[in-house]
A and B are shown apart, each in its own frame.
Chain A
Amino acid sequence: MAPSLRRRGPLGVLITVAALLASACNGDTQSGDVKVGFITALTGPVAFAGQTFAHGTELAVDQLNQEGYLGSGRKIELVKKEGAETPARAVEQAKQLAGDQSVVGTICCILSPTAGAVKPITTAAKMPLDIYGATDLGLEKPPYVVRTTTMPQDANKSLAQKVAQQVRPASVAYAVTQDNSGWVSQLKSFQEGFAGTGVRDLGTVNTLAAQTDFSGAAGQLMAKNPAAVVVACLQQSSISLIKALRSRGYNGLIVASEAIGSPGAYKAAGGALAGIPFPVYFFAGKADAQGQKFAQTYKAKYGTDPDDYAAQGYIAAYTMATAIKNAGKNVTRASVTKALSSLKQLDGTIYGTVGFQNGQLHAPESIVHITWTKDGRQTEWTPSGAGKS
Chain B
Amino acid sequence: MLFVQQLINGLALGAVYALFAVGFGVVFSTMRILNLAQGVYATWGAIFAYWAVAHAGLPFAVACLVGTAIGAVAAVAVDQVAFQPLRSRGGEQLLGTIITSVALWISLREAASLATGAAPLGFPPGTVPGGLIRFAGLRVLATQVIAVVCAIAVTAVIHVILRHTRLGAAIRAVGHDRGAAMLGGVNPRVAILTAAALAGAATGLAGVFYADGQTFTFGLGDGLLLQGFAAVVIGGMGDVRGAAFGGFAIGVVQVLSAQYISNSFQDAITFGLLLVVLVVRPRGLLKTVELGRA
Contact = CB atoms under 8 A, between A and B. Distances in A.
Q: A and B: direct contact (Cβ < 8 Å)?
A: yes
B81 interface: no
11 contacts: A1-B226, A3-B219, A45-B219, A48-B117, A212-B216, A216-B6, A217-B258, A219-B259, A240-B213, A247-B141, A249-B139
B125 interface: yes
B98 to A, nearest CB: 14
Interface in A222-243: 222-223, 235-236, 239-240, 243
B144 interface: yes
Contact of B264 (A178, A213, A269): A178
A212 B120 contact: no
B61 to A, nearest CB: 18
Contact of B213 (A48, A215, A235, A236): A215
Contacts of B279: none
Contact of B266 (A208, A219, A264, A272): A208
A45 B113 CA distance: 11
A64 interface: no
Contacts of A214: 213-214
Interface string B155-174: 00000000000000000000
Interface in B121-136: 121-122, 124-125, 130, 132, 134
B106 A5 contact: yes
B263 to A, nearest CB: 4
A210 interface: yes
A1 B132 contact: no
B101 interface: no
Contacts of A358: none
Contact of A270 (B109, B124, B139): B124
A51 interface: yes
Given A235-B120, A248-B132, A264-B120, A216 B258 contact: yes
A212 B254 contact: no
B219 A1 contact: yes
B259 A216 contact: yes
Interface stretch (B9-17, B83-91, B237-245, B283-291): B9-17
Contact of B120 (A1, A51, A178, A265): A265
A3 B223 CA distance: 11
A274 to B, nearest CB: 10
Given A248-B141, A264-B120, A265-B120, A215 B255 contact: yes
Contacts of B259: 216, 219-220
A179 B268 CA distance: 14
Given A207-B263, A215-B9, A244-B213, A269 B139 contact: no
B120 A216 contact: no
B215 interface: yes
A174 to B, nearest CB: 13
Contact of B214 (A3, A206, A213, A249): A213
Q: Which of A3, A5, A48, A217 has the most CB of B within 10 A?
A: A3
Interface residues of B, number: 45
A29 B125 CA distance: 51
Q: Interface size for chain A: under 10, 10 to 19, 20 to 34, or 35 or more residues?
A: 35 or more
B119 interface: yes
B93 interface: no
Nearest to B143: A247
A47 interface: yes
B68 interface: no
A268 B118 contact: no
Contacts of B120: 48, 235-236, 239, 264-265, 268
Given A236-B120, A247-B141, 5 more contacts: A1-B225, A43-B113, A48-B120, A264-B119, A270-B122
B215 A268 contact: yes
A209 to B, nearest CB: 11
B118 A43 contact: yes
Q: Which of A51, A213, A270 has the most CB of B within 10 A?
A: A213
Contacts of A216: 6, 9-10, 13, 254-255, 258-259
B217 interface: yes
Given A1-B223, A217-B258, A219-B9, A239 B2 contact: no
B82 interface: no
Given A48-B119, A223-B5, A240 B255 contact: no
Contacts of B106: 5, 7
Given A48-B120, A215-B13, A264-B120, A240 B215 contact: yes
A271 interface: yes
A154 B263 CA distance: 28
B255 to A, nearest CB: 4
Contacts of B255: 213, 215-216, 219
A247 B254 contact: no
A269 B10 CA distance: 23
B122 A1 contact: no
